[in-house]
Amino acid sequence: MNLLLIKTMSIKDCIFYKSLKNKEVKCLACNHYCIIKNNNFGICKVRKNIEGKLYLMIYGKVISENIDPVEKKPLYHFMPGTLAYSVGTIGCNFKCSFCQNYDISQESNIKLGIDLTPIEIVNNAIGNGCQSIAYTYNEPTIAIEYWLETMKLAKKEGIKNILVTNGYISKEALKKISPFVDAMNIDIKSFSEKFYNETCKAKLKPVLETIKLAHKLKIWIELTTLIIPNKNDSKKEIENIARFVKSVDENIPMHLSRYFPSYKMKEIPTPLSTMNEAYKICKKILKNVYLGNIGETTDTICQFCKKTVIKRIGYSIILNLDKNKCKNCKEKIGGVF
């Protein structure tokens, strides 16, 4: 009986795929667009072709759950000072050699995790005083059917949905889920195709397209770049990232996060001087730039009167906002407040 329950809970028909000849399928959830032979998994190792149909093998299986300040996602202009019920599964469509969560993202044992139905996740969020659910820790796209159901239920209860993502979601999937997504934090891991190819086993261009599309779809977006010594920390590369962001919208908050050695990458932690230099470069081009993982937080300054509108002390905040307007000069601050 228990075994049956586990099996029922864990497998779900995928909706983002199409059938091909000879029982092959093409997954449409992310930009890998894996063509999967019968009885095989896609790159993410959680979507399996069984007799010409694609199944999500980890439906209802959460490997990690936490109640986090929304600032930790990081989202600095989205409901500051609130809590996000945060959930993740095993698996990932990237293979980043510096992954901070490699123990779950590179795991392929589909039996791991606790059973949580979409309604249980929403109830847990409400019961713990969270105003949002963050789909995070690993790449949420790979379990999109699980999260779409959860997002729909959350929306009905007035709970916001946040995707913390590498931006590799396909455009068809993003368009389909966008009515239920309130905010996204999207990584720009580098501005080099070589880096994406060698370090993440993916491509840069689709990530940039996702950022443009999410912005066009009016989802609140913030971006994160992990600055890694000798890998993506050149002045030119940081400047290229900032210029791209400006081409979409100079008001998009940009988070520059300090790297610490993890998984297969053994570079030294990013020197604080490099972080400060990257901050200065971005700040010349963008309006809202923040440093992360450096032991202190950055405040949000009103671009018009230069007063502090959100003061951050760790994950605590002091707001100097009247809804979405600076209390001092009454100018609008971009974000969801």
Where does this chain bind ligand SF4 (CB under 6 A)? 27, 29-30, 32-34, 42-44, 47, 93, 141-142
CB of 144 to ligand SF4, least distance (A): 8
| Helix, strand, coil abundance in the chain, percent, nearest 5 | 30, 25, 40
Q: Which is nearer to ligand SF4, 29 or 83 (CB)?
A: 29
Q: Which is nearer to ligand SF4, 51 or 296 (CB)?
A: 51
Q: Are 266 and 296 in contact (CB under 8 A)?
A: no
Q: Which is nearer to ligand SF4, 90 or 122 (CB)?
A: 90
Q: Which is nearer to ligand SF4, 47 or 258 (CB)?
A: 47
CB of 87 to ligand SF4, least distance (A): 18
Q: How far apart are CA 203 and CA 206, in angstroms?
A: 7
CB of 212 to ligand SF4, least distance (A): 20
| Residue 270, phi-psi category: left (phi > 0), alpha (psi -120 to 50), beta (remainder) | beta
CB of 40 to ligand SF4, least distance (A): 10
Residue nearest to ligand SF4 (CB): 42
CB of 139 to ligand SF4, least distance (A): 8
Degrees to nearest 5, angle at CA 157 with 155 and 158: 65
Q: How far apart are CA 229 and CA 260, in angstroms?
A: 10
Question: Which two tokens mark 79?
Answer: 């409901």
| Burial readout 311-336 (b: 16 or more C-beta within 10 A, e: otherwise) | ebeeeebeebbeeeebebeeeebbbe
Count the neighbouring beta carbons within 10 Å of the beta carbon of residue 21.
6
Q: Which is nearer to ligand SF4, 30 or 207 (CB)?
A: 30
Q: How far apart are CA 233 and CA 144, in angstroms?
A: 32
Q: Which is nearer to ligand SF4, 90 or 227 (CB)?
A: 90
CB of 45 to ligand SF4, least distance (A): 8
